[in-house]
Amino acid sequence: MRRYEAYKDSGVEWIGEIPAGWEATKLLFGLECAITDGPHETPEFFDEGIPFISAEAVSCGNGRIDFSHMRGFISKEYYEQCCEKYIPQVGDIYMIKSGATTGRVSIVDTDEIFTIWSPLAAIRCKRSKLLPWYAFYYFHSFEFQQQVEDGWTYGTQQNIGMRTLEKLQVCFPPLPEQQAIADYLDEKTAEIDSLIVDKQRQVELLREYRKSLISEAVTGKFKVPGLE
């Protein structure tokens, strides 16, 4: 890969040098508004209504919201109460902020009406400073995830505060470079995901073959080598 012509000290020890035209500073400075979350009480759930999203829908979604793992359906009236605090938008990023999957993220890529519960931190980028898809990939990076882990506190389970998240350090390239990085990672991660799916299919076929081999051997369907 081609390297940048000039680098400078980021001022952050664990990031080290960054390209000369980049900036490293707190996530807060790339946000449209303060990080928020959903209601902290448990609502009443119904057989139908508006999807209510929590941590499992983020942790199972491979970067997207998996609505098949939503917490349940809420009423329109309760949804409207939730909207007084936060209304989801395309490009918002959710990070799990409590529990065993703290730090996992997903991005909103649907216009479907839904809202979120308190285990999720809702992050909205200021697009004149930080593009959502670049931020989404940055939040997956080792450098950012290590900061999340270092910022954990422990009660009955690990968790990270929203104000702590706002203080974490992020690299801010110029916007055209953010877009180029996001486009590049879209392509490359899609290729990797496709390879993973192919490998998983191969693993499943091998597992089925293993079961079949064992079954046929122990039930006398064939004579194993070494027997007279």
Tens-place pLDDT, residues 195-212: 999 999 999 999 999 999
- What is residue 111's predicted lDDT score, i.e. its pLDDT? 95
pTM: 0.89
- What is residue 153's predicted lDDT score, i.e. its pLDDT? 86
Helix (H, G, I), strand (E, B) or coil at 71: coil
- What is residue 51's predicted lDDT score, i.e. its pLDDT? 98
Could you read off the pLDDT of 174-192 as tens digits, one per residue?
Answer: 999 999 999 999 999 999 9
Give phi and psi for 130, each to the nearest 5.
-145, 120
Give phi and psi for 206, each to the nearest 5.
-65, -35
pLDDT at residue 225 tops 90: no
Between residues 218 and 56, the one the model is more confident about: 56
User: How does DSSP classify residue 227?
Assistant: -
- What is residue 223's predicted lDDT score, i.e. its pLDDT? 78
- What is residue 1's predicted lDDT score, i.e. its pLDDT? 66
Could you read off the pLDDT of 3-54 as tens digits, one per residue?
Answer: 888 999 998 888 889 999 999 999 999 999 999 999 999 999 999 999 999 9
pLDDT at residue 228 tops 70: no
CA nearest neighbour of 135 among 101, 96, 97, 107: 107
SS (H, E, C) 128-179: CCCCHHHHHHHHHCHHHHHHHHHCCEECCCEECCHHHHHCCEEEECCHHHHH
Determine the Cα–Cα distance for residues 166 and 35; give it in Å rounded to an integer: 7
- What is residue 217's predicted lDDT score, i.e. its pLDDT? 83
